[in-house]
Amino acid sequence: MLSSSEIERLLVVTAHPDDVDFGSAGTIANMTDDGVEVVYCLVTDGQAGGFDHSIPRDEMAMIRREEQTKAAAEVGVTELHFLGYMDGTVEATMKLRHDISCVIRQVRPQVVITHSPIRSLDSTYGSHPDHTATGEAAMCAVYPDARNPFAFPGMPCAELADWNVDEVWITFGPGTADENRGVVDITRQIDRKIRALRCHESQHVDTDATISRVKEWFQSIASDNGLPEGASAEAFRVVDTR
């Protein structure tokens, strides 16, 4: 797992607003504190999220963009790319691979953080179809698409110089074990992570209960990986793509 001293730019590719804050906001805060430039790429606007039936879906899209922008600022991120796909309909199409490849070629990151492309039967919420489709499209964009100078002929991405990503970090949940895992101590960033999550007001029926569960989840990851009692951590499967 590359250290922050080896990373100039990091790109996070997620399906929905708030995915990054649940999965990796503490790690992002560590990175930005260390001078790493972090950029977010949101595939959908999360139009199908929330619980208030009175909010039109186009309005929800704008609300969620604003919430994600505020949450990003809490952990030092100011550049966000919204691809505008419809929440709940994401597929790993060539168009999505093209669009993510464009962002990779623009940002030129050493590391991409994204969802797992593989459904886990132990994680219903983590394996939302939009998540697995985004993970698959992001992996395809990393290899072979973004590094192939002959990909997407005649399309906008072909006008951008190709780029090789060194590592992909796949977000993990509590209780997940893998020999290629990387564990990041986020104890000093947990308050910033919580502030980022609180920005997504439209998604929480009971914010305090959600925050309580999140704290337990990330203390569990720390405990499972040998960190001291009271510590919090985020975990990733690290894929070497060099």
CATH assignment, 10-240 = 3.40.50.10320
Poorest-pLDDT segment among 106-120, 172-186, 197-211: 172-186
Per-residue pLDDT tens for 116-155? Answer: 999 888 877 778 999 999 999 999 999 999 999 999 999 9
Taking the domains of the chain in order of start, what are their residue ranges?
10-240
Name the 3-class secondary structure at 200: coil
Task: Say if CB 128 and CB 114 are below 8 A apart.
Answer: no
Does the pLDDT at position 176 exceed 80? no
Dihedral pair phi/psi, residue 2, rounded to 5°: -65, 145
Alpha-carbon span 21 to 4, nearest angstrom: 19
pLDDT over 90 for what percent of the chain?
85
Token pair recorded at residue 13? 């590719």
Does the pLDDT at position 99 exceed 80? yes
Q: What is the mean pLDDT of residues 179-200?
A: 94
Does the pLDDT at position 91 exceed 90? yes
Q: Measured in whole angstroms, how far is the alpha carbon of residue 215 from the centre of its chain?
A: 18
Alpha-carbon span 27 to 1, nearest angstrom: 13
